[in-house]
Amino acid sequence: MGEGYHSRISQLVKLVLKHASFLVKLHLLTERGSALISFSDSVYVYWGLTSHLCAAGRLNWNSPEMARPSSNLTKFRKEFAKAKHIAIITGAGVSAESGVPTFRGQGGYWRKWQAQDLATPEAFSRDPSLVWEFYHYRREVMRSKMPNPAHLAIAECESRLSQQGRSVVIITQNIDELHHRAGSKHVYEIHGSLFKTRCMSCGEVTANHKSPICPALEGKGEPDPKAKDARIPVEHLPRCERRGCNGLLRPHVVWFGETLDSDILTAVEQELEKCDLCLVVGTSSVVYPAAMFAPQVAGRGVPVAEFNMECTPATERFKYHFEGPCGTTLPPALERHESEAI
């Protein structure tokens, strides 16, 4: 890496540290109500300098302004037909079309709280019963939600192309497992899953689709602001079933102030480095580090197509932009191309 790279990184550090005092508790929201970065007076956590996220430094920071993104589906389809390794980055917009609540913005409350009030290590330490009620409710809601045409199109495309020696990888910010339920196999859930737990004692991560997750939570989690907190004794909350442990379980999701799994980030970085076509589907492109992924790919000249309800801060970096519901715009983009063998 040249001096210019180190100079830019140094400038980034200075900028972060200069404004840290004003960012006493700044949380950058993930697409599903978690967070990646927090700043405080004593701790500076910034994505740009960690070993795995320094991949951002490989972006062409001096690249010229790109032409306005194209919405020409025929041209995109030609690139799609040639691609051997396709990376698809998905966010909340995909799940929203399945009716999945986000608990963000106006009206996005569970009782009197938004996700950022409950999705923190501090909240869980202070009131694990309340936090588990919130996540139990979310788990139960997901049982009535189904993959939509966007999920299904991605899964069908992955399955079809795998038979042609081509690959599709899904990098999702969502924690609802709808990609899995649609049939996708090659999925990285960078923010975790509602249907996995992690033991606070032994650290074991386990898939858990029980309903309810424990007897004490049955019938709990009513979102009505007038509902009373269950106040479940901690010994009756979900517990680790590993022999000799019995530790308290927590949802295996990324909470505010927590970092992403380094192994997953490494794997995602490797996928992005080898992809020859990238799709960004239903994401705001403002949540880091995921917001870096597609611009990083575009920076090395790989075509990137954005499918979203509106333009995002990253739109001008991409070659294609298709506006509208993902369930409408994505299926025709991923359907079998005439050049594919039947």
Residue 207 vs residues 11, 84, 94, 120, 236: alpha-carbon distances, Å: 42, 32, 23, 21, 19
Report which DSSP code applies to 23.
-
DSSP state of 101: -
Phi and psi angles of residue 112, each rounded to the nearest 5 degrees, phi first: -105, 10
What backbone phi and psi angles, to 5 degrees, belong to 316?
-65, -10
The type of residue at 214 is C
Quick one: tokens of 187?
């999925």
- Cα first-last separation, the chain: 46
Here the tokens at position 263 are 């192994």
| Sequence-distant (≥ 6) Cβ neighbours of residue 124 within 8 angstroms | 131, 250, 255
- 278-295: burial string, b at 16+ Cβ within 10 Å, e else: bbbbbbbbebbbbbbbbb
Nearest to 290 by CA among 147, 175, 118: 175
User: What's the rounded Cα separation, in Å, for the pair 130 and 37?
Assistant: 24
> Which spans in 166-257 are helix H?
178-182
Query: How many Å apart are CA 318 and CA 151, to the nearest integer?
Result: 22
Quick check: 95 and 178 in contact, CB under 8 A?
Answer: yes
Question: Catalytic residue at 191?
Answer: yes
- Token pair, residue 285, equals 């492109």
Per annotation, catalytic residue among 27, 151, 180, 191: 191
Residue 147, helix vs strand vs coil? coil
**Alpha carbons 240 and 69: distance in angstroms, whole number:** 50
Pairing between strand 85-90 and 277-281?
A: parallel
> Which sequence positions are flagged as catalytic?
191
